[in-house]
């Protein structure tokens, strides 16, 4: 199986089919990829580090705030 995740910047893309897939039935599909939680943490870590905030504690606090009614 061959899988690649890209960030689409154009409407038209050319794809290269691996040689081992030639003369075989193959499936080509396109679907959006949900942003993973660890990616969110990676993106926010630099911001949090500058403010001397522990990202794990920060995330726990945010989650606990949502549960308060």
Q: What is the pLDDT of residues 3-58, one digit of tens each?
A: 888 889 999 999 999 999 999 999 998 888 876 666 666 666 666 666 777 777 87
Query: What is the per-residue pLDDT for 12?
Result: 94
Query: What is the per-residue pLDDT for 24?
Result: 96
Q: Residue 33: helix, strand or coil by DSSP?
A: coil
Q: Which residue has the higher pLDDT, 63 or 28?
A: 28
Q: Which helix (H) or strand (E) holds 64?
A: helix 55-66
Query: What is the per-residue pLDDT for 58?
Result: 75
State how far the Cα of 68 lies from the Cα of 63, in Å rounded to an integer. Answer: 9
Task: Output the DSSP codes for 14-32.
Answer: -----GGGTTS--------
State phi, psi for 44 to the nearest 5 degrees: -85, -15
Enter the pTM of the model. 0.42
Q: Residue range 60-66: average pLDDT? A: 72
């Amino acid at each position: 199986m061959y899988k690649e995740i890209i960030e689409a910047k154009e409407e038209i893309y050319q794809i290269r089919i691996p040689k081992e897939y030639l003369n075989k039935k193959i499936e080509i599909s396109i679907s959006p990829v949900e942003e993973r939680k660890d990616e969110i943490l990676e993106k926010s870590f630099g911001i949090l580090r500058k403010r001397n905030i522990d990202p794990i504690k920060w995330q726990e606090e945010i989650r606990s705030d949502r549960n308060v009614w």
